[in-house]
């Protein structure tokens, strides 16, 4: 078949979640097909990619690509040092930075920075930042790339729930443009209307407004100390 089709490369796709089975499959497949490399899938799961080391050592075949999702752009080149960092629980900051840079509009980033410093950052900007984080991937995928996340993930200190992001967006999108730009206007009857429109409660609306003020104050504080000014990471 190889002589007839003449492919540029033959790649074996291996599920990273299968652990030792992935190694056995790669080894057995090598006996029948002299493939060129491996694609390691499901690195967006709880697995850290340790199978990559075992497969490489036993088959002597290189891991060419890894996938962190189901979309075409979720297929990424394999970088041994980054996988090693993930295995050690140190995250994969370089990949996160690369994704962020691909999505960052420099002009928009500078405008957000100006708004943060001048305390003009509003709920429209907040919603935009949530959407930017969403473009990076699922929230848990983004967090997996951060150093120390593996230690925090199993504790009660941090709890990630994608549904919270949806609730946050629904509440903000139920506000008028004037309310998003001037959150101080949101009182009494306005809160009732927003809660009704978003299918939530006044308690949820109050919670969001309080958290928004905390995030805005935190970002302003960091900007004055020359800290992180761009691509703030809002938590729902």
CATH of domain 2-88: 3.40.50.300
Which residue is listed with tokens 């299918």? 199
Average pLDDT over residues 207-231: 71
What CATH architecture does domain 100-224 belong to?
A: Orthogonal Bundle (1.10)
8 Å CB contact between 145 and 92 = yes
Domain ranges of the chain: 2-88, 100-224
Rounded distance, CA 186 to CA 123, Å? 12
| Residue percentage of the chain with pLDDT more than 90 | 20
Rounded distance, CA 176 to CA 157, Å? 34
Average pLDDT over residues 206-221: 84
Average pLDDT over residues 57-61: 83
Evaluate whether 2-88 and 100-224 have a shared fold: no
Q: How confident is the model at residue 83 (pLDDT cuts 50, 70, 90)?
A: low
């Amino acid at each position: 078949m190889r002589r007839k089709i003449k492919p540029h490369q033959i790649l074996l796709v291996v599920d990273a979640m299968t652990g030792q089975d992935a190694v056995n499959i790669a080894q057995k497949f090598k006996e029948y097909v002299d493939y060129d490399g491996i694609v390691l899938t499901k690195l967006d799961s709880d697995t850290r990619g340790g199978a990559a080391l075992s497969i490489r050592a036993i088959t002597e075949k290189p891991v060419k690509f890894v996938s962190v999702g189901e979309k075409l752009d979720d297929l990424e080149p394999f970088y041994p040092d980054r996988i090693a960092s993930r295995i050690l629980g140190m995250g994969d900051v370089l990949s996160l930075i690369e994704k962020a840079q691909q999505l960052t509009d420099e002009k928009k980033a500078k405008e957000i920075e100006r708004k943060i410093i001048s305390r003009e950052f509003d709920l429209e900007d907040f919603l935009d930042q949530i959407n930017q984080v969403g473009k990076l991937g699922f929230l848990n995928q983004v967090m997996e790339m951060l150093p120390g996340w593996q230690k925090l993930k199993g504790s009660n200190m941090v709890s990630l729930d994608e549904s919270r992001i949806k609730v946050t967006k629904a509440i903000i999108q139920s506000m008028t443009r004037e309310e998003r730009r001037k959150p101080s206007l949101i009182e009494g009857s306005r809160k009732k209307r927003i809660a009704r429109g978003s299918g939530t409660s006044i308690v949820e609306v109050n919670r969001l407004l309080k958290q928004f003020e905390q995030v805005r104050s935190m970002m302003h504080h960091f900007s004055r100390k020359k800290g992180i000014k761009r691509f703030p990471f809002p938590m729902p």
